[in-house]
């Protein structure tokens, strides 16, 4: 898994946006805490974007920037590497931990905040959106509020994004995906329960012995149809609108 810190950010390529935390409209505002003490706590991730069952997902890149392309099947297949930050926030109003999907340039913003507020988590910030919905030139401003004595120990535990937001796949699993367009384990999880004709008889209460091996089944691509039998400034500018703490999922 390719992770990088602020000093390594320029070694990685493109970037993207969106995420679980979002401000949808121009001048929307939310109060948050960045769940880090210093810039050393913040990691970036090198990922690929793939489509699974009609939905776009991030999957881990298996190589560091200075390793051969062949060390990652998706890199070898010329799939674009995206440098991402999944910024962990505590939404003060909803009292929930959220993830803000940002590009690598957001490292610079966080580095500036960490240099001024240490530990970073002890200062809540208002984040304001500047840009209408769908505007690709949208920017975000951060306004520091009063620093207090809140620490990371006072906030909920943070779940690792690797294995949740980012699919954590092995070399062999990525090769399988390139050959088939889906991950084998996803198909197994979605497969319907197997039928046992001996237990389908009306009024039958007999159960199949626990040590009897189930009949084999054919692997079905995830996209196939189901079988027929299964159905920074400190002052607050005027004119801002506060959001209700809703979030988007990708």
pLDDT in tens, 151-162: 999 999 988 999
**Phi, psi (degrees; rounded to nearest 5) at 140:** -130, 135
Across the strands, what pairs with 84?
103
- Residue 39 and residue 23: Cα distance in Å, rounded? 24
Predicted pLDDT of residue 232 = 44
61: nearest Cα among 162, 197, 198: 162
The parts of the chain modelled with pLDDT lower than 50 are 4, 6, 8-19, 197, 199-239, 244-250
Vertex 14: Cα angle to 9 and 16 (nearest 5): 105
- pLDDT given at position 185: 75
CA atoms within 13 A on the CB side of 156: 13
Model pLDDT, residue 198: 52
Confidence (pLDDT) at 238: 47
Report pLDDT for 220. 37
Residue 179 has which token pair? 């050959």
Q: How far apart are CA 75 and CA 1, in angstroms?
A: 13
Instruction: Give the largest Cα separation in the chain, rounded.
Output: 73
**CATH tag for 3-179+231-242 (out of 3.30.1330, 2.30.30, 1.10.3470, 3.90.198):** 3.90.198
Give the residue extent of every domain in the chain: 3-179+231-242
pTM over 0.85: no
Q: d(Cα 107, Cα 87) in Å, to the nearest integer?
A: 10
């Amino acid at each position: 898994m390719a992770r990088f810190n602020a000093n390594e950010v320029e070694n990685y390529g493109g970037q993207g946006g969106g995420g679980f935390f979002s401000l949808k409209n121009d001048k929307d505002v939310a109060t948050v805490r960045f769940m880090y003490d210093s810039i050393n706590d913040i990691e970036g991730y090198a990922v690929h974007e793939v489509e699974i069952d009609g939905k776009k997902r991030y999957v881990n890149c298996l190589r560091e920037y200075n390793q051969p392309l062949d060390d990652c099947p998706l890199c070898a297949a010329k799939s674009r590497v995206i440098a991402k930050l999944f910024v962990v926030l505590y939404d003060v109003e909803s009292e929930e931990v959220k993830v803000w999907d940002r590009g690598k340039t957001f490292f610079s913003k966080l580095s500036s905040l960490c240099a001024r507020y240490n530990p970073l988590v002890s200062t809540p910030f208002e984040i304001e959106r500047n840009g209408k919905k769908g505007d690709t030139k949208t920017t975000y401003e951060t306004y520091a509020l009063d620093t207090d004595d809140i620490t990371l120990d006072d906030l909920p535990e943070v779940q690792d994004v690797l294995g949740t937001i980012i699919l954590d796949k092995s070399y062999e699993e990525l090769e399988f995906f390139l050959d088939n367009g889906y991950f084998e384990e996803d198909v197994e999880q979605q497969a319907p329960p197997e039928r046992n004709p001996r237990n389908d008889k009306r009024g039958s209460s007999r159960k199949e012995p626990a040590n009897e091996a189930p009949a084999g089944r054919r692997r079905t691509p995830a996209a196939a149809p189901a079988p027929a039998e299964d159905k920074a400034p400190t002052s607050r500018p005027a004119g801002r609108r506060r959001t209700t703490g809703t979030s988007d999922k990708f």
